[in-house]
Structure 1
Amino acid sequence: MKKVIYFLVLGVLFLNCESKKEVPKTVDSNIEKTAINTVLNTWHKSAAEANFETYFNAMTAESIFIGTDASENWKNAAFKEFSKPYFDKGKAWSFTSVERNIYIYKNGEIAWFDELLETQMGICRGSGVLIKNDDIWKIEHYVLSLTIPNDNMDAVKLINKEKDSLLLKKLEK
């Protein structure tokens, strides 16, 4: 009798576990990509218009912004502090996406992208990760990079040689 009860309990537990499996979420990638494009376009526009609150509300509280300088690896609070004087002057920076690729993870809650940007520095590349929380996409991680034509790489290496050397020495300590 104990064996019968034991198997009944195991059967009930198994059925209970099976019934609680989550139904896979269906993700409409076109809708999500439209929402992500809106977030990124508004984010870039808010910098050009010096709208500090809108700009930083597009980012998570834990977000990271990596700038073009090797020393620029900003956590959100530090990036806000660095950026505030630029926004206070009425125009922070102006980035316009001229090409963007968006990729959405199958659960529909994580996306990553790359974009070519027209900027005051020339053409740059941005890439990043967004997360969706409570149906709202926010930027979690962003990397801004200068684009360097391969034919110009030797000249750029010469320009950067001294500063790169100093930074490497600092990081080795």
Structure 2
Amino acid sequence: MKRIISIFILSFLIFSVPVSAQKKGFYENVQKKNINKLLDDFNTFAANADFEKYFDCFAEESTFIGTDATEVWNKKEFKDWAKPFFDKKTTWNFKSLKRNIYFSKDGNYAWFDEILDTQMKICRGSGVLEKISGKWKVKQYVLSATIPNEVIDEVTKIKTPIEDALIQKLK
């Protein structure tokens, strides 16, 4: 009898996890795979100078923010800037070393951050994705150059004359 009660209790505990929670976990895993594929393809398309496929990863209304403080472009502006690099096959080759993905409650938006191995050494990519017509698209991408704390003072000295002028212009 104790065995039957134990089995009953165990079965109750196992099957009492809400189906919605089970579905949510499954859904997020599937969506993370889709997003990882999108972001990996995004990097591969750039490395292979595949202009059309690279820019197809972006939503029509999207923004690319580069490492320079002046680099904030909508999709058309970024395409115009990047086209000569793609034409000459002198694009960038980023490899994700570590990536985190998060979701909005409704599952229509995701945001990510990743550490990238690039020709500039370690960079950080981050951004926002939107599910549009069943496909994930980049709404905003931010590329940041990382600066190790040990050399921040040296880097600040190098960039001060350039950025002081920009600071004054932006004020």
TM-score (norm 2): 0.84
Output the CA distance in 2 between the equivalents of 1:33 and 1:109. Answer: 12
> In the alignment, is the contact (CA less than 8 A) between 1:47 and 1:92 conserved in 2?
yes
The answer as to 2:43 corresponding to 1:44 is yes
Identity of aligned residues (%): 49
Contact 1:123 1:146 in 2 (8 A): yes
- 1:97, 1:118 within 8 Å by CA — same for their partners in 2? yes
Give the letter aligned to residue 164 of structure 1.
Answer: E
Moved over 4 A (4+): none
- Find the counterpart in structure 1 of residue 136 from structure 2: 137
Query: 5 Å matches for 1:146-161?
Result: 146-161=145-160
Q: Kindly provide the CA deviation profile for residues 19-67 of structure 1, in whole angstroms up to 9, marking residues without a partner as x.
A: xxxxx9x641000000000100000000000000000000011110100
Alpha-carbon distance in 2 for matches of 1:70, 1:159: 15
Per the alignment, residue 31 of structure 2 pairs with 32
CA distance in 2, matches of 1:66, 1:101: 19
Equivalent residue pairs, number: 149
Tell me, what secondary structure is at the counterpart of 2:92? coil
Offset, 1:91: 3.5
* Structure 2 counterpart of 1:6: none
Indicate if the aligned counterparts of 1:47 and 1:91 stay in contact, CA closer than 8 A. no
User: C-alpha separation between the residues in 1 aligned to 2:110 and 2:56?
Assistant: 18
For residues 81-129 of structure 1, the C-alpha deviation after alignment (integer angstroms, 9 at most, x for no partner) is 0000000012411000010000011211000000000001101000000
Q: Which amino acid aligns with 2:56?
A: N
Is the Cα–Cα contact under 8 Å of residues 116 and 124 in structure 1 kept in the other structure? yes
Match of 1:96 in 2: 95
- Which residue is 2:109 aligned to? 110
- Tell me how large the CA RMSD over aligned residues is: 1.4
Secondary structure at 1:92 match in 2: coil
**Match of 2:125?**
126
Kindly name which structure, 1 or 2, has the bigger radius of gyration based on alpha carbons: 1
Partner of 2:5: none
Aligned partner of 2:71: which letter? Answer: E
**Between 76-85 and 163-172, the greater mean CA deviation after superposition:** 163-172
Instruction: Give the Cα–Cα distance (whole angstroms) in 2 for the partners of residues 64 and 33 of structure 1.
Output: 22
Residue 144 (structure 1) shift: 0.4
Task: Give the unaligned 5+ runs of structure 1.
Answer: 1-23
| SS of the residue 2:131 aligns to | strand
In structure 2, the partner of 1:56 is 55
Q: 1-side partners of 2:119 and 2:112: how far apart?
A: 21
Partner secondary structure for residue 156 of structure 2: helix
Consecutive unaligned residues of structure 2, counting only runs of 5 or more, are 1-19
Q: Which amino acid aligns with 2:160?
A: K
